[in-house]
Amino acid sequence: VDGLDGSYRWVDVNANLRPYTKVMIDPVQIFVTHDPGYKGMDPAAMGRMTDAFRMEFIGALVSGYQVVNQPGPDVLRIRLAITGIQPVPPALGVTDFIPIKAVFNVARDAAGSAPRVAEMSGEAEVLDPKGHVVGAAVSTRKADKTLPQGEQITWAQLQTIAAAWGKNLRQNLDRMRGYAGQ
């Protein structure tokens, strides 16, 4: 995707999506790295994360599309996934952070005090009512703010990424339906 490093998009240029004004967003899937060092994942924390992620997409779509909960002959289905999750042990007594390793070092220094930036990877698919993929995207995106080394990641650091992806999905869906610029 021009201007978005780490983002790739595929669109079926032969698909006619103009008549679709309804979308259904499946529950968000989480894909853990192939060999996480920590095997435990708090289901409640992951549920909060996936629900908040999904709501960012619903928020981006609701002003131009009817968001429904059931498939139908006039409904586009959107499947979302957060990928490359590396669970980490949660800190004792802390409940508002996401116990995953989703950061990278901007620069390494000998003391290990370089700031870090939250980063999230995700995938999206748009399917027509017959289940044919008509659009797909993968992206790795960095948050806007740096974090001190060792600071836990909260949803606030990742929310801006999810919001940007939701906005991009809306723009691309509009474009696929022939309504670019509206």
Q: Which of 115, 117, 165 is nearest to 144 (CA)?
A: 117
- Say what the pLDDT of residue 100 is: 52
User: 3-state DSSP call for residue 86?
Assistant: coil
- Provide the 10 A C-beta neighbour count for residue 157: 24
Residue with tokens 């698919």: 125
User: 3-state DSSP call for residue 162?
Assistant: helix
- Say what the pLDDT of residue 79 is: 97
CB 99 within 8 A of CB 89: yes
- Say what the pLDDT of residue 102 is: 47
- Say what the pLDDT of residue 95 is: 52
Residue with tokens 């996480």: 36
- Say what the pLDDT of residue 53 is: 87
- Say what the pLDDT of residue 77 is: 97
Q: Splitting the chain (182 residues) into consecutive groups of 10 residues, what average pLDDT does each group show?
A: 81 90 93 68 78 92 95 95 71 53 43 61 93 92 65 70 89 81 40
Q: Residues with Cβ < 8 Å from 37, sequence gap 6 or more?
A: 86, 88
- Say what the pLDDT of residue 46 is: 79
The pTM for the full model equals: 0.77
Please state the length of the chain. Answer: 182
CB 102 within 8 A of CB 45: no
